[in-house]
């Protein structure tokens, strides 16, 4: 398999379902904001909460993070209209390794680290192919304090982190996530469409949800 084909294969695996179907018996319920295990931007009092299920190696998630989310952060999150939550949807070992590092960091640093990971996604694909992934991820996490192999391994093996990831996986099963990115608003799952993957399209989507959440006054 050529390097290019392998890179495409990795990206495809990240964005398509590979897990078993969601369990039939579902006793999971949404967490209160103070118990949230995802990475959060915005006020707990915002009228609309959007949950994004993402994979660090998903090219569409990178596109959303770099082209759409900055606009949403400025126009909706910073203005108190939307609370935005990122939860992982792990579908390969590269995702797993990246997320053990992100979850080792304080929440704000973890979010910044994940954005750095999206910026270096092509480099990470190559590192995964040639066996240098730990070194590449240590380079990415060094600004946040995970600066050597000992710290990297400690994060990777941290059982509290793994238990948190299991709980997030249960939430993804509850919402029957099959692709990334997928967005949850008020318990309803919205698979990303081509329109939603643009700043204008996602803004229109949020405006519709805000109109539902905020009835007009007389």
Per-residue pLDDT reduced to its tens digit, 64-108: 999 999 999 999 999 999 999 999 999 899 999 999 999 999 999
- Please state which of the ranges 24-38, 99-113, 129-143 shows the lowest mean pLDDT: 24-38
Residue 4: pLDDT above 90?
Answer: no
DSSP string computed for 54-111: E-TT-HHHHHIIIIIHHHHIIIIITTTSEEEEEEE---SHHHHHHHHHHTTS-HHHHH
**Residue 132, pLDDT above cutoff 60:** yes
Residue spans of the domains in the chain: they are 39-210
- Digit-coded pLDDT (tens) for 148-169: 999 999 999 999 999 999 999 9
Residue 28 has a pLDDT of 86
* CATH code assigned to 39-210: 3.40.30.10
Model confidence pLDDT, tens digit, residues 182-202: 999 999 999 999 999 999 999
Other Cβ atoms within 10 Å of 28 Cβ, number? 14
Which pLDDT does position 70 carry in this prediction?
A: 98
């Amino acid at each position: 398999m050529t390097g290019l084909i392998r890179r495409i294969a990795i990206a495809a695996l990240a964005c398509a379902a590979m897990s078993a179907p969601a369990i039939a018996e579902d006793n999971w319920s949404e967490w209160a904001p103070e118990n949230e295990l995802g990475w959060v931007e915005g006020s707990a009092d915002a009228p609309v909460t959007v949950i994004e299920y993402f994979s660090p190696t998903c090219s569409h998630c990178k596109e959303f993070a770099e082209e759409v989310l900055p606009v949403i952060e400025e126009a909706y999150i910073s203005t108190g209209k939307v609370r935005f939550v990122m939860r992982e949807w792990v579908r390969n070992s590269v995702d797993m390794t990246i997320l053990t590092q992100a979850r080792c960091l304080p929440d704000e640093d973890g979010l910044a680290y994940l954005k750095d990971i999206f910026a270096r996604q092509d480099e990470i694909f190559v590192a995964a192919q040639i066996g240098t992934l730990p070194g590449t991820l240590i380079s990415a996490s060094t600004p946040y304090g995970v600066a050597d192999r000992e710290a990297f391994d400690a994060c990777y093996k941290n059982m509290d982190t793994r238990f948190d990831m299991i709980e997030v996986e249960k939430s993804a099963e509850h919402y029957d996530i099959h692709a990334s990115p997928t967005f949850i608003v008020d318990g309803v799952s919205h698979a990303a469409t081509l329109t939603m993957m643009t700043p204008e399209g996602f803004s229109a989507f949020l405006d519709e949800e805000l109109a539902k959440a905020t009835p007009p006054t007389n």
